[in-house]
Amino acid sequence: MYDVYLNERNDLLVVPRGNSIPIDLNRNWRKKRVVRSVSEQIREDVRIYGYHRRKLPLGRSMKTLADKQA
């Protein structure tokens, strides 16, 4: 299982459940949800680096921004 976090710039961070956010990425992350399965690419990044981080596509981040304002 994995914890999924978002920050103020709508970057996505995935870490194994129960692990803390890496210190070099420690900003204003908020926990979004817990997921049971992730893609192979994310699983491989978590295995190698301990986390997976990426920017959400513009359309997705704009929808999240609109939800925050409502």
Amino acid at 62: M
pLDDT at 22: 84
Which has the higher per-residue pLDDT, 60 or 43?
43
**pLDDT over 90 at 63, yes or no:** no
pLDDT at 48: 94
pLDDT grade, residue 14 (50/70/90)? very high
Which has the higher per-residue pLDDT, 56 or 2?
2
Strand order in the sheet with 2-6: 30-35, 2-6, 11-16, 52-55
**pLDDT over 60 at 64, yes or no:** no
